[in-house]
Chain A
Amino acid sequence: AQSVSQHNHHVILSEAASLELGCNYSYGGTVNLFWYVQYPGQHLQLLLKYFSGDPLVKGIKGFEAEFIKSKFSFNLRKPSVQWSDTAEYFCAVTVMEYGNKLVFGAGTILRVKS
């Protein structure tokens, strides 16, 4: 079965610090990769996605992620975080053979100190 691992459950950063959240998945076939974000009191929103092409994808609010197929990884990055980035971040994968069923990681809670 497919699974997604997120390396850290809680991350605390100061404003302007750089962010990298790790994500690894366990499926050898064709995958689509996603990062979703859940701001306090809001619903899950898509941050960025990878389907094919350039392995470095850019999303909203200055976030980017790099797909490294050989490492089964899809890490999320942002050069300089803001207080408003405080949220929970979920990495997720869909496997082409299984349609668009999303398999999520456990999530990483990011708190940015102002």
Chain B
Amino acid sequence: ETGVTQSPTHLIKTRGQQVTLRCSSQSGHNTVSWYQQALGQGPQFIFQYYREEENGRGNFPPRFSGLQFPNYSSELNVNALELDDSALYLCASSIIRDPSYEQYFGPGTRLTVT
């Protein structure tokens, strides 16, 4: 089975720009979650998508938005980038009805905002 993949691996953007990060879920998983991991911190939940609809959101402003596609791939969009958005962005897929709620993580996209 294929795992969770993310692209690109690294990205450098300028403050004020917009960025799109991509994720392909693990085969058979219909739920995708996005996390932001700042340096020296644990991952923080941004939002989750299930059946192409947002299914929960963390404490992130509206300039963080997402999409989930019918093939369960997903995008994270960030508008008006700020320096503090520099972080590792992780995508995780899961089977939402799985009572174990286990999530499988991708390798992440390292975003640097200058």
Contacts and interface: CB of A to CB of B under 8 A. Distances in A.
Interface of A: 4, 9, 32, 34, 36, 42-46, 49, 51, 90, 92, 94, 98-107
B96 A100 contact: yes
B108 A100 contact: no
A97 to B, nearest CB: 11
Contact of A104 (B43, B94, B101, B102): B43
B42 A101 contact: no
A9 B41 CA distance: 10
B103 A100 contact: yes
A106 B40 CA distance: 7
Interface string B92-114: 10101001111111111000000
Given A43-B107, A43-B108, A100-B94, A49 B35 contact: no
A43 B42 contact: no
Given A43-B106, A44-B90, A44-B105, A99 B35 contact: no
Given A32-B101, A44-B90, A107-B42, A101 B108 contact: no
Interface string B12-48: 0000000000000000000101010000111111001
Given A43-B108, A90-B43, A102 B103 contact: yes
Contacts, number: 64
Given A49-B100, A51-B100, A100-B31, A105 B42 contact: yes
Contacts of B107: 42-43
B56 interface: yes
B58 interface: yes
B99 A51 contact: yes
Nearest to B37: A104
Given A43-B107, A43-B108, A49-B102, A100 B33 contact: yes
5 contacts: A43-B106, A43-B107, A46-B104, A90-B42, A103-B45
Contacts of B92: 44, 102
